Amino acid sequence: MPHIAIDYTANLTDALRTLELPRKLHEAAQGLGVFPSNGLRTFARAIDQYHVGANTQGEAFINIQIRIAPGRPEELRQRIVDTLFATAEQTLAALIETRPVGLQLEITEFDRSLTRMAGSLPSA
């Protein structure tokens, strides 16, 4: 963990591809030094069917969900949120200046009792 999931309206696909938001968020999360080196997963998905505000043609939205293991202190969770949001804002600044784009980032903790994991990825 964590998983960083970036959902965005499909009208941003070309712009986001060149800005490399997933890579930058992934590297920022690694730079925090608080996550297992092989535990970080970052992905982005374009949402083809959407409605944003009054103008669904030009308006856009980016929603970043960060899921982490439970038990980290509030101060650390705040540092994670602040660091990753600052990375997203900096990466998207020029885009947000040129068109109406909403940006939201949220961190949540998964419930260990209701989560199962498997696979062959290295754990260290």
Please state the pTM of the whole predicted model. 0.88
CATH number at residue 29: 3.30.429.10
Q: Using the Cα atoms of residue 76, residue 77, residue 83 and residue 84 in order, give the sign of their dihedral.
A: positive
Using one digit for the tens of pLDDT, what is the confidence trace for 87-101?
999 999 999 999 999
Question: Does the residue 121 lie in any domain?
Answer: no
Amino acid at 105: L
Gap between the Cα atoms of 96 and 16, Å rounded = 11
How many domains are contained in the chain?
1
CA distances (Å), 36 to each of 32, 33, 48, 68, 88, in order? 11, 8, 33, 11, 22
User: Which residues have C-beta within 8 Å of that of residue 71, sequence separation ≥ 6?
Assistant: 109
| Domain region containing 22 | 3-59+67-114
Question: Does the residue 97 lie in any domain?
Answer: yes
Question: Does the residue 124 lie in any domain?
Answer: no
Question: Does the residue 100 lie in any domain?
Answer: yes
Question: Does the residue 15 lie in any domain?
Answer: yes
Using one digit for the tens of pLDDT, what is the confidence trace for 4-28?
999 999 999 999 999 999 999 999 9
Please give the pLDDT value at position 122: 65
Using one digit for the tens of pLDDT, what is the confidence trace for 24-43?
999 999 999 999 878 899 99
Question: Does the residue 96 lie in any domain?
Answer: yes
Closest CA to 15 of 86, 83, 84, 97: 97
